[in-house]
Structure 1
């Protein structure tokens, strides 16, 4: 059996120009039928566009015309004065082997949600009163039709109106669950009429309930010749592209790649290849593999990559991203790592002749540093002094690293200096927060840096980095190469979507 599920909208039934219905609307048809309206707002016909048909809110159209299909006063069949641009395009396509045996019409009725409807209320766009007109239309177009079934989406409050995506999905699921479908039924779905929430709900429910059995019938009232069927696989791909956009907003580059990879071609289009390449680079950044990330950037960022300090800013921006993702532990970890790691990079760059690397690649400061910074030894703890003198080197991390910076840049020894937070409150809070098994609240991340909110936290981390690197960046976004790459990824995903669905206009 062929089953056609079709949504209905405010402009599905229109009035032709130069007809009795149009001419006598104000003098006969509206005065005769308005007593059936919940509230009379003196609705007038509106011309959609130049040389186009006339419309009136769907509920009004149904009340005025649906109850007067045969107007004995004029001995005139009102139905002949009506036109159905979108439904006509669909009906012409559903012929021959595709002709429906059963039609399921989705109507809307928000009567319970809008008790005293104003003129601009969504109530007037409801299509439930169009049932007599639609019934005549479908039976005229498909003379052998076995059944025309009408389902009403009827929210009970304004908060649950048909612009509410969750509510529309719930109502569509409820209504379609009352019907029986057989495994061999072929399902055709036309979802373009109605609110965007209803359209999406019909798409989702159809795909989840019927899978590959469903075909979507789409059209355009201005270009009916382009009416066509679209397979469910293309719609599934479209839905996953929307999901990919959500994942991209969350900086989940692996998730985007995993979602889209099944659709990638052996011979990729330029748009697809660019998206794939950018995702590979972004994934390395998300894993904090900044060297691999840099290799992928190529010539675009060569000037930045020549600097010793660029990875510190990338690590800090990664902390911002982790906070946006709700991962507070990693946000704190990367923010502290960014600054401490940058101090280490500074030491390796500034005093490379006094650096020795251990077998694991970690740096140690050699006793020769005392030739350049003789006061350094006096700033160390006694056990660290002994180790430096005895072994001739000292692992460069934490206190030994901080004291090296303070010796070289005495101004940061001041308790009120921005860097004091690093070897003060931030360090004191880092280990207790990392080592406990309790949750870490966002506010605790800010407080660990002696700040009160996200903006102040980002500003303080940036100030620390700028001091060490002797730069003047005004935001972590501007300092990060990944920020621009993310913008490029957004555009690449949009271009990929447009290319992939260049033939899909739904």
Structure 2
């Protein structure tokens, strides 16, 4: 789909070729370095005019357009049209036309803009009078130098005057005109259309202009670069609450730019999304391919991730999920520990309980009571798993932490899994206390330590905190630091 181009026209967006063949900027009224006469004065002199304002000068050229059309060229927007006209469906040129009592009226660009419109129509067959429009600032008293007034003007204009089809690309060049008009165009346009807007930025090239060649430009580039500071803060705030999905969606337009310098950030955000979903193996695979993290063996490391996910859910005040994740971290760990520790005796099932064969009783005779009749296998339910754990790792038998897991935490997990409603944070802590009626867990730190102690006993690790044990915690810190350090090139030379 072809684009819509919106361009602000300033006093220096038009060049004129004098009789000598040299080109001068009609609106540049500054005196030239080391010379007596400025560019605008050169044009006025060449035309045989005297004491004439910019507004009147451009009206004179417009009134005599048939005579001068071949000696006029847009200095700022010229190359954008020369190189991209075939990709443009409609053009909106923004001109100033202020009330008679306004001092800056003498520098209004209404006639300049009419000249540029005629230049466009004459040069490009696909851009005719019907699809090249002029919109005027100032006729209603709006001050082009007042940001708030211009912001309101642009909001109304985007909504009522500029017609854009769904999904149509929007190109904007706001180099012409005063800075307040340009900034209001950017902010209001980005608020209205977001990452659909692409910007051109023009770098003045005086030597080329003197030869009748319009200035160079960059773009079109993503308009949201102008709002990077704001976007950066929003992304960091989302990540503070571990909302990786929203953070990725917010930053994705930046990732899609050619020459993006975000490095591993996109993949690490994707990894964070997987971690939030509990897809820890996929998380690890993507994270390892994008950055250096601690190496892991086997699969028991995932218990730490599941437990830390419970910690994050508690921070997010998702207390029911925090309870379920924390319990599941240990329960799931024990099943995998049993299967990994006794591979000849265990049979993992995709559906239902794992099975253990009777040969396990040769090592642990206390388990014989789980095999009844002629059955050679037994369902590994919680009771069997508890007895096996106590036999294989005797320290767990007298562990206060495991006593809470097998009793109060198990009861609370079952209760909340089968009933509607939520629970308070203190209910989570109470559930992990060794005695519900006399809770010994009253803070998040104590709760985390209880879960960590259980996991460390089984994995034979010695982590001091769940954050230390979690691979995701390492990644999270890297993502935050990378986004905090990230800088976006702002192509606006006035910034």
**TM, length-normalised to structure 2:** 0.56
Distance 1:231-1:250 versus aligned 2 partners, 3 A rule: same
Give the secondary structure class of the aligned counterpart of 2:249.
helix
Taking the aligned partners of 2:357 and 2:273, their CA distance within structure 1 comes to 37
Distance 1:455-1:189 versus aligned 2 partners, 3 A rule: farther
Distance 1:268-1:354 versus aligned 2 partners, 3 A rule: farther
Distance 1:400-1:102 versus aligned 2 partners, 3 A rule: farther
The residue that corresponds to 2:414 in the other structure is 431
Taking the aligned partners of 1:469 and 1:346, their CA distance within structure 2 comes to 8
Q: Which of the two has greater helix per residue?
A: 1
Verify: 1:286 aligned to 2:276, yes or no.
Answer: yes
Q: Given that residues 308 and 349 in structure 1 are in contact (C-alpha distance below 8 angstroms), is that contact kept between their aligned partners in structure 2?
A: no
What is the CA RMSD across the aligned residues, in angstroms?
Answer: 4.9
Taking the aligned partners of 1:255 and 1:268, their CA distance within structure 2 comes to 23
Give the secondary structure class of the aligned counterpart of 2:365.
coil
Give the secondary structure class of the aligned counterpart of 2:326.
helix
Structure number with bigger Rg: 2
The residue that corresponds to 2:238 in the other structure is 247
Taking the aligned partners of 2:349 and 2:424, their CA distance within structure 1 comes to 37
Taking the aligned partners of 2:336 and 2:222, their CA distance within structure 1 comes to 53
The residue that corresponds to 2:365 in the other structure is 374
Taking the aligned partners of 1:139 and 1:487, their CA distance within structure 2 comes to 55
Map 1:185-200 to 2 at 5 A: none
* TM-superposition CA deviations, 1:337-373 (whole Å, max 9, x none): 1111122222223222322233649632222122222
Taking the aligned partners of 1:360 and 1:298, their CA distance within structure 2 comes to 30
The residue that corresponds to 2:390 in the other structure is 406
Q: 2:474 aligns with which of 450, 466, 484?
A: 484
Map 1:37-186 to 2 at 5 A: 100-101=96-97, 147=141, 176=152, 183=161
Verify: 1:455 aligned to 2:445, yes or no.
Answer: yes
* TM-superposition CA deviations, 1:25-52 (whole Å, max 9, x none): xxxxxxxxxxxxxxxxxxxxxxxxxxxx
Q: Given that residues 322 and 328 in structure 1 are in contact (C-alpha distance below 8 angstroms), is that contact kept between their aligned partners in structure 2?
A: yes
Verify: 1:363 aligned to 2:354, yes or no.
Answer: yes
Verify: 1:318 aligned to 2:306, yes or no.
Answer: no
Q: 1:252 Cα shift?
A: 2.3
Give the secondary structure class of the aligned counterpart of 1:352.
coil
Q: Given that residues 355 and 379 in structure 2 are in contact (C-alpha distance below 8 angstroms), is that contact kept between their aligned partners in structure 1?
A: yes
Taking the aligned partners of 1:180 and 1:411, their CA distance within structure 2 comes to 73
Taking the aligned partners of 1:102 and 1:213, their CA distance within structure 2 comes to 28
Q: 1:449 Cα shift?
A: 1.4
Q: 1:482 Cα shift?
A: 0.8
The residue that corresponds to 1:417 in the other structure is 400
Gaps of 5+ in 1: 5-92, 104-134, 154-171, 193-198, 218-227, 379-384
* TM-superposition CA deviations, 1:78-134 (whole Å, max 9, x none): xxxxxxxxxxxxxxx999x8774469xxxxxxxxxxxxxxxxxxxxxxxxxxxxxxx
The residue that corresponds to 2:332 in the other structure is 341
Distance 1:361-1:430 versus aligned 2 partners, 3 A rule: closer
The residue that corresponds to 1:394 in the other structure is 378
Q: 1:234 Cα shift?
A: 2.6
Q: 1:150 Cα shift?
A: 11
Taking the aligned partners of 2:98 and 2:449, their CA distance within structure 1 comes to 63
